[in-house]
Amino acid sequence: MTTVVSPVAGRVTALAEVPDAVFAGQLVGAGVAVEPSAPPAGGLVAVVSPVAGEIVKLHPHAFVVVGESGTGLLVHVGIDTVKLGGTGFELAVAEGATVAAGDLVVRFDPAVVAEAGYSAVIPVVVLDSTPDSVSQRAVGTTVASGEPLFDL
């Protein structure tokens, strides 16, 4: 069993609450989302890997990490943030990097996301999983970065 940890500190929500039909409908997989806590004024939010594994896909706004079990997890930093073209994001690792759960992957400025009119919510999705196959026990709670969200 692998424990999937939160990539950021914040409030855990159901994917159904994410303002994006693909995530809300669990079309890429089941999971939860985290609404990041506000950073100190002008601060960046650190986004960490939810599991140990390899970063197989890396964009400023999203990454996929494949754990030792072969399961891929998508961490999508905000909704529609691809339209920012990387503005407000800083990559801390390269594609192909091996990471431990809790290792820094990207930092982002939630103020840039908000100014563009986008949501900063961060879906954490088990790729190719069936809808409603992930425990929702953490939904409604507030977690610190690195605290458990669900088990695989």
Residue from 34, 45, 76, 77 carrying the catalytic annotation:
76
Q: Are 53 and 72 in contact (CB under 8 A)?
A: no
Which CATH superfamily does the domain covering 3-132 fall into? Glucose Permease (Domain IIA) (2.70.70.10)
Mean pLDDT, the chain, as a whole number? 96
User: Which DSSP category does 130 fall into?
Assistant: P
Q: What is the pLDDT of residues 48-78, one digit of tens each?
A: 999 999 999 999 999 999 998 899 999 999 9
Is 61 in the active site? no
Confidence of residue 43 (pLDDT cuts 50, 70, 90): confident
CB crowding 64-86: b at 16 or more within 10 Å, else e: bbbbeeebbbbbbbbbebeebee
What local confidence, expressed as pLDDT, does residue 120 receive? 97
Domain ranges of the chain: 3-132
Q: What is the pLDDT of residues 89-129, one digit of tens each?
A: 999 999 999 999 999 999 999 999 999 999 999 999 999 99
| CA triple 37-149-118, angle to 5 deg | 40
Confidence of residue 35 (pLDDT cuts 50, 70, 90): very high
Share of the chain above pLDDT 90, in %: 94
What local confidence, expressed as pLDDT, does residue 39 receive? 81
Q: Are 12 and 34 in contact (CB under 8 A)?
A: yes
Does residue 137 surpass a pLDDT of 90?
yes
Q: Are 47 and 151 in contact (CB under 8 A)?
A: no
